[in-house]
Chain A
Amino acid sequence: MATRLQFENSCEVGVFSKLTNAYCLVAIGGSENFYSTFEAELADVIPVVKTAIGGTRIIGRLCAGNKNGLLLPHTTTDQELQHLRNSLPDSVVVQRIDERLSALGNCIACNDHVALTHTDLDRETEEMIADVLGVEVFRQTIAGNILVGSYCAFSNRGGLVHPHTSIEDLDELSTLLQVPLVAGTVNRGSEVIAAGLTVNDWTAFCGSDTTATELSVIESVFKLREAQPSAIVDEMRKSLIDSYV
């Protein structure tokens, strides 16, 4: 089910939160509304953790993770690192990496099996990603943009990419990721998908400006309508769906 919400009057919820199949991170806001919306959805299933990274609230764009691990930039303080290690389940490996491109959320997009990264990422970082997150890493661009983490959002069941992505690119990415992909928008025509939307296998949260059309597209491609938290089955799909009329 897709939920619409706002973080302190901003519709860019993907900037202030990070949602995976094993945990959820939220930023510390002025009021508790943001946190309580997440909790209402996810409380009994996965832990919802309030945190800051490097003293900032833009945690969604600074870290990258899936059910196997979480990668943090070098700006994370020791206290925040410790807090996260304590709060997250033991199966999740929390690792701080030294990378020149420190906005890992903008540079890495991943689900539990595959990750797409910025083309200029270090060799060592790539190895770290493969190691910690347990994924296969591909360097890619999306519609000519190198910040793959911002312009696409995908889960194990489907993905949404920048609206200007050509059909050939969509084919290629879908083959790589092994999930169905759709080009679309979020937050009333905004092209920065991952900033407006955060998603896992059974639920999604998007900005309150998202129109009904966009919401229906999201729910279709991520298969949220019939999904239940416990009934997640890995399915390999190769077919490309590109219209929902």
Chain B
Amino acid sequence: MAQEAGMFTVNQTIGSVLCCKCGILMQPNPANMCTKCLRSEVDITEGLQKHVVIVHCPECDSYLQPPRTWIKAQLESKELLTFCVKRLKNLNKVRLVHAEFIWTEPHSKRIKVKLTVQKEVLNRAILEQSYVVEYVVHEQMCESCTRVQANPDQWVAAVQLRQHVSHRRTFFYLEQLILKHDAAARCIRIKQMDQGIDFFFSNRSHAVKFVEFLGKVAPVRYRNDKQLVSHDPKSNNYNYKYTFSVEICPICREDLICLPPKVAVSLGNLGPLVICTKISNSIALMDPFTLRHCFLDADQYWRASFKSLLSSRQLVEYIVLDVEPVSSEVVVGGSRYVLADAQVARVSDFGKNDTIFSVRTHLGHLLSPGDNALGYDLYAANSNDIELDKYKGLVLPEVVLIKKSYEEKRQKKRGKPRAWKLKSLDMEVDNTAKGRDHEEKVNSEYEQFLRDLEENPELRFNMSLYRNKEYQPSEMASVTDGEEVPSVPLEELLADLELSDVEVDDDGMME
């Protein structure tokens, strides 16, 4: 700047001139006319639209953007303002500086927007002017609302999820996963069926997205079909109902499996008896006697599918009499195992007779003499499996231990509520044909599922547990000896969002 260079510059004050039309004193500008005279000469809003008609759907509060899109917007919102400005033609001739709503009665069916525009006039003078555009709102139902009105139960796509096993553990787990990932947000209806759940959607793409989500969390195979509902021969429009049939593999966690010879060989001669340790979108299998593990992809499984030999319904309780570790601690697939020789006896036998089994187990790190464990009783089981017969000369172990049992300690806690709770999906349940036995069975399965969650932190990983406000910690909590029943630590619980005026009781204590 000249001043920084040390030069002397004269301070320039702009004088005033008379407006050439009306003669009032003003600052000189490129047109040399005061703004009022300039505005009376030139109207920059000439040729711009001042009245526009827009179409609104009263059911879903959305506005039509021709030819087909409906934009959801509240009154006096930013989206509505953008939509209104977009509907004006010719606005590219002037520069839009500011836009805002002028309040109108909500039921007057008129929306008023005040726009401020700038344009160059005469001698390179830029003139700014505001004007009001009035929008007349016509009510018309959009196509999706019309369809819903005509038939509320109408669905376009359905996903039928099935698993051919006798328990519903997988579906409890899946329910929590779906809730956590909000995968069923676009669902119209959910219906609980025998051995599965049906999901109904209004759009095929929503169903496809849901099926892909399922493919990521469980080993599934699916097929889809469509059925013609109606067709318009003149414009060649065909309306279909799409159905996706999704089947989850029948192998569950803690199942005992006898692998078919081909599969065993392809997995590197994994001993035919394996335990399933984890199900996500692939199946993790582990040989309990050699601590070898492998993974089976959904594709691989369905190419040569096999069933489990024994499932968790058939677990029997054992008492551990002696444990001798054979190998050191090994980390297999993220969990620690220690191969050990154990002497166990069935709880039903204990004290009555001397039936003792010596078995090799992978739970050496968990068990100590006097503990209870759950396992499969192959000694007493009558397996009718084709695969088992294929192995000639296979010596079956008598017991395969699966997990440690906390049954006794749970007896003490029976009836006391937990510190946490789970949410559930809004399902339609068809209860008429089942009867009371079925209900009890379902309840006990759910209880078992909750216990599973407490014992396994990795199962909890994918779901949201919420703090139970009714839970009061008992005063006897501190008096325990040795081990406690595993429970969910407080840090993992989420505070349930309740939009009410009730004060939250802030007393959740870790047990």
Contact = CB atoms under 8 A, between A and B. Distances in A.
Interface in B287-318: none
B20 A166 contact: no
A244 to B, nearest CB: 7
A55 B33 CA distance: 37
Contact of B20 (A183, A211, A244): A211
Contacts of A185: 17, 20, 32
15 contacts: A163-B32, A166-B12, A166-B14, A167-B15, A189-B20, A191-B32, A211-B21, A213-B20, A213-B21, A213-B22, A213-B23, A214-B20, A216-B23, A217-B18, A245-B25
A91 interface: no
A100 interface: no
A183 B13 contact: no
Given A213-B20, A213-B21, A243-B25, A189 B32 contact: yes
Contacts of B504: none
Interface in B33-77: 33
B270 interface: no
B35 to A, nearest CB: 13
Interface in A187-212: 188-191, 211-212
A166 B13 contact: yes
Contacts of B25: 243, 245
A38 to B, nearest CB: 25
B113 interface: no
A216 B18 CA distance: 11
A214 B22 CA distance: 10
Most buried by A among B13, B17, B123: B17
B355 interface: no
Contact of B15 (A183, A190, A217, A244): A183
A27 B122 CA distance: 29
Nearest to A189: B32
Contacts of A245: 18, 23, 25
Given A185-B32, A189-B32, A191-B32, A243 B19 contact: no
Contact of B10 (A168, A213, A217, A244): A168
A168 B12 contact: yes
A245 B22 CA distance: 11
A8 interface: no
A31 B374 CA distance: 122
A169 B12 contact: yes
B42 to A, nearest CB: 13
Contacts of B21: 188, 211, 213
A239 B76 CA distance: 60
Interface in A62-98: none
B483 to A, nearest CB: 93
Given A167-B13, A213-B20, A242-B16, 7 more contacts: A163-B17, A164-B14, A183-B17, A188-B21, A211-B20, A242-B15, A244-B18
A213 B18 contact: yes
A234 to B, nearest CB: 27
Contacts of A102: none
Contacts of B31: 189
B11 interface: yes
Interface residues of A, number: 25
A61 B84 CA distance: 55
B28 to A, nearest CB: 4
What 6 A-B pairs have minimum CB-CB distances, sorted nearest first?
Answer: A189-B32, A213-B23, A163-B28, A166-B12, A163-B17, A185-B32
Contacts of A13: none
Contacts of B16: 242-243
Contacts of A242: 15-16
A184 interface: yes
Nearest to A211: B20
A175 interface: no
Contacts of A214: 18, 20
B20 to A, nearest CB: 5
A188 B13 contact: no
Contacts of A216: 23
A137 interface: no
Contacts of A188: 20-21
A140 B32 CA distance: 24
A174 to B, nearest CB: 12
B449 to A, nearest CB: 85
A165 interface: yes
A119 to B, nearest CB: 17
A170 interface: yes
A59 to B, nearest CB: 27
Nearest to A162: B28
A238 to B, nearest CB: 18
A212 B21 CA distance: 7
Contact of A170 (B15, B22, B122, B123): B15
Nearest to B17: A163
Contacts of A168: 10-13
A223 to B, nearest CB: 17
A189 B17 CA distance: 10
Contacts of B22: 213
A189 to B, nearest CB: 4
Most buried by B among A164, A169, A190: A164
A168 B8 CA distance: 14
Contacts of B19: 213
Given A183-B28, A184-B18, A244-B18, A189 B13 contact: no
Contact of A184 (B12, B13, B14, B17): B17
Interface in B350-391: none
Given A169-B12, A183-B15, A164 B28 contact: yes
Contacts of A170: 15
Contact of A165 (B15, B20, B32, B33): B15
A166 B17 contact: no
Most buried by A among B11, B13, B20: B20
B19 to A, nearest CB: 7
A189 B11 contact: no
A189 B15 CA distance: 16
Contacts of A183: 15, 17, 28
Interface string A43-57: 000000000000000
Contacts of A164: 14, 28
